[in-house]
């Protein structure tokens, strides 16, 4: 599989993080020299989220992001307002991911705003047919949600499926709604023509 277009390098040391206020809540973003290495989606308790986030970074502290990261943060803010945003060129550091996970994450990054697929469909697109369950497990470990849009992956039959971020499936559904995607049972038919 050609992964030469994947925008990531591999480096372990987070250099810093920032907490960004967005239209959907506070989002934490951490980066290394190679790119964004961790994103935390909004939680009810911002202080608890920041403590947990900082603890995972091994000592990196809050700081002003460099230009490339600041540009990605602006994209996140625009996305949270419901704007159509393309994160595919945002640099990421996936050094903690194995080759299978990287293939899955890149296949997810290839999905456009508002485009969904199933776990099996994503596995196929990543060159790993028949690995739907493993794909779900890889997405559950996704360190950079939104940038790697794991919320766009649905269970078979168009069901919402799981989501490991705070709020679970409800958060996933909210993100999809931001993108104009409706998941779930069909809306009741209009009765305008009922006799």
Instruction: Convert the pLDDT of each residue in 158-168 to its tens digit.
Output: 788 877 776 77
Residue 184 in any domain: the answer is no
Q: Which domain holds residue 152?
A: 96-178
Residue 55: φ, ψ to 5°: -65, -30
184 pLDDT more than 90: no
Q: Residues 107, 125, 148, 150: which is the catalytic one?
A: 150
pTM across the whole model: 0.84
The answer as to whether 61 is a domain residue is: yes
Per-chain mean pLDDT for the chain: 85
Please, what is the end-to-end C-alpha distance for the chain in angstroms?
58
Taking residues 103-127, what's their average pLDDT?
96
Distance CA 26, CA 20 (A): 5
- Within-domain flag for 52: yes
Query: Which position has the higher pLDDT, 2 or 98?
Result: 98
* Residues 34, 61 within the same domain: yes
Tokens read off for 58: 């091994």
User: Which runs of E-coded beta strand occur in 55-167?
Assistant: 92-93, 117-118, 153-154
Tell me if 109 is assigned to some domain.
yes
The answer to whether residue 115 sits within a structural domain is yes
Active site residue 150: yes
Q: Give the chain's domain count.
A: 2
Indicate if 68 and 100 belong to the same structural domain.
Answer: no
Are 65 and 139 contained in the same domain? no
pLDDT digits (tens, 9 = 90+) for 88-106: 999 999 998 999 999 999 9
Distance CA 79, CA 113 (A): 10
Q: Residue 120 has which token pair?
A: 């099996």
Shared domain check, 100 and 174 = yes
């Amino acid at each position: 599989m050609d992964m030469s277009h994947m925008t990531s390098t591999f480096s372990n040391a987070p250099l810093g993080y920032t907490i960004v206020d967005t239209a959907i809540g506070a989002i934490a973003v951490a980066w290394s020299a190679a790119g964004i290495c961790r994103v935390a989606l909004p939680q009810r308790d911002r202080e608890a989220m920041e403590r947990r986030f900082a603890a995972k970074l091994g000592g990196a502290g809050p700081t002003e992001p460099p230009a490339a990261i600041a540009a990605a943060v602006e994209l996140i803010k625009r996305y949270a307002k419901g704007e159509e945003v393309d994160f595919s060129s945002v640099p990421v550091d996936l050094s903690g991911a194995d080759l299978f996970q990287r293939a899955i994450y890149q296949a997810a990054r290839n999905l456009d705003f508002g485009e969904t697929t199933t776990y099996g469909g994503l596995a196929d697109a990543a060159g790993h047919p028949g690995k739907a369950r493993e794909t779900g497990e890889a997405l559950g470990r996704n360190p950079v949600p939104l940038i790697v849009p794991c919320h766009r992956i649905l269970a078979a039959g168009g069901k919402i499926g799981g989501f490991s971020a705070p709020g679970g499936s409800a958060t996933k559904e909210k993100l999809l709604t931001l993108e104009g995607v409706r998941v779930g049972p069909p809306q009741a038919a209009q009765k305008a023509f009922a006799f």
